[in-house]
Amino acid sequence: MKRCNYKILSYLLIIVLFVTSFAIDLSSFSLAAGTYIRTDYSNWRIVHSAADYSNGQIDARIDIITAEHTAIMSTDAAGTRGLNPFVYDRNNSKDVYGCPYGEFANSDNGTMIHLTTRQRGEYKYLGHNFEGKPVTNDRFIRPTAGGWLSTIADYKNLSWQTIDGAPDTWRTINNSIIADYLLSTNFKDSDYTGTPAGNPGISLNYIFNSSLSEIQSKAQVLLPPTVWYLKPGELLR
């Protein structure tokens, strides 16, 4: 009988230890799930027409993004802005922090809502990158800007200016395949009014005659590629 009690006691001890361990693991998981900066959440709900999203739902989406792509952080380098999951989901997986801001262009086809006027359109900036630099919005077009990029030759005729620090942003790209992709891939530009509109079908190599030094001094990489899938089973970081 005494032996049986010892046996029961040992089972209880094992259960207590298991439950305690599980509680510790669960606590560790909740701490590791992500760091959230919720100061922009209310503004995101307005700008991105996401009134139905709770704080918990936004947190959960950030967790999913950062779990799928471990190179993407939930907050910026300074720890002052949070990853905007709405920009990520609606702008080709751009990892941008904080809230869209800057000049606002009204447009019936816009994807954003102005914070105060509640009109539809586009902000000039999507937010900031990890280092805190402004990230331009490809969809932003001033109402008065129409027609200035109507042919692909217009891109060559522009006086592109040197950007301080631009070469350093290219040096952060350690994979030659990714660098070549950025140089040679045709980009889209909402300012282009030719045919097809928004898609000039040209690359940085075309604009700058494949001059790497000129490209690296006049084109700044605001969002360095973090994950690229070249073909099934081949992943570059």
- How does pLDDT run across 112-145, given as a tens digit for each residue? 999 999 999 999 999 999 999 999 998 888 766 5
Q: pLDDT tens digit string along 110-121?
A: 999 999 999 999
CA distance 6 to 29: 34
Mean pLDDT across 208-227: 85
Mean pLDDT across 206-218: 93
Give yes or no for a contact between 125 and 101, defined as CB atoms under 8 angstroms apart.
Answer: yes
Give yes or no for a contact between 28 and 20, defined as CB atoms under 8 angstroms apart.
Answer: no
pLDDT at 147: 62
Confidence of residue 190 (pLDDT cuts 50, 70, 90): confident
* 237, pLDDT greater than 50: no
Instruction: Of 80, 168, 177, 174, give the one whose Cα is nearest residue 132.
Output: 80
Mean pLDDT for all residues in the chain: 81
Return the domain boundaries, the chain.
Answer: 35-144, 146-237
Give yes or no for a contact between 229 and 223, defined as CB atoms under 8 angstroms apart.
Answer: no
* 231, pLDDT greater than 70: no
Beta strands in the chain (DSSP E): 101-106, 112-113, 120-128, 134-136, 228-231, 234-236
